Amino acid sequence: MAARYKINEIFYSLQGEGYHVGTPAVFIRFSDCNLRCPFCDTAHEDGRMMTGREILDEISKYPSRHVVLTGGEPSLFIDSDFVQSLHGQGRYVAVETNGTHPLPAEVDWITCSPKVGLAAVPDDAAKIRIARCDELKVVYVGQDMSVYESIQADHHFLQPCDTGDSIRNAALITGSIDYCKSHPKWRLSLQTHKLLDIK
């Protein structure tokens, strides 16, 4: 495990979004991403270089088997060896990805949060390049939802964007609820960690 990874932070909390909401998990947040979204909550300039061994040592402090690789964009960094090293520690490996790069086959759970039409890059750069995911989680800003219909997923979540503007946020929550009610394969996902004011 000689590779080094730029890690923004490693922390222990509850999963705040989507299918596994409420699940205790160790979060490994990578720095850097191939997309730039105006609502991103990661400071990509922050972080420190860590070896795989150092990452394993850090997460061994926490009791949950559930590990979430997030970012940034973890698909830019992780490979089969990295995922297998987490499995070797008895961990269940979930990845939160924008879907623009393939992932190691060993990943246990894939949450795809596509950013087509949302990132400050051409749509082709944000194009989904994974065949399927366990969970599709769309950040809703009022966009055309038809672009996500071709993505194969077991679970569909619509998450109103936190814009920092309470009036805009209220409108997006209402819009998300209305969309879920008229398209019932979609479920509402709220950022419960923000509602609870936890990390």
Catalytic residue among 32, 40, 54, 163: 40
- Which residue from 70, 69, 71, 98 is spatially nearest to 83, judged by alpha carbons? 69
Compute the distance between CA of residue 4 and CA of residue 156 in angstroms, rounded to an integer.
34
Instruction: State both tokens at 23.
Output: 């699940």
Told to judge if 45 belongs to the known catalytic residues of this protein, a careful annotator would answer: no
Told to judge if 42 belongs to the known catalytic residues of this protein, a careful annotator would answer: yes
Catalytic residue among 17, 20, 30, 33: 33
Residue indicated by tokens 């990509």: 44
SS3 85: helix
Told to judge if 33 belongs to the known catalytic residues of this protein, a careful annotator would answer: yes
Catalytic residue among 87, 101, 155, 193: 193
Told to judge if 96 belongs to the known catalytic residues of this protein, a careful annotator would answer: yes
SS3 33: coil
Instruction: Give the contacts of 27 (CB within 8 A, at least 6 positions apart).
Output: 9, 10, 11, 12, 13, 67, 68, 70
Catalytic residue among 17, 73, 96, 134: 96
Told to judge if 23 belongs to the known catalytic residues of this protein, a careful annotator would answer: no
Helix (H) or strand (E) holding 52: helix 52-59
Instruction: State both tokens at 143.
Output: 């966009």
Compute the distance between CA of residue 127 and CA of residue 197 in angstroms, rounded to an integer.
33
Catalytic residue among 20, 42, 134, 135: 42
Catalytic residue among 17, 20, 30, 37: 37
Told to judge if 41 belongs to the known catalytic residues of this protein, a careful annotator would answer: yes
Catalytic residue among 41, 124, 144, 197: 41
Residues carrying an active site annotation: 27, 33, 37, 40-42, 96, 193
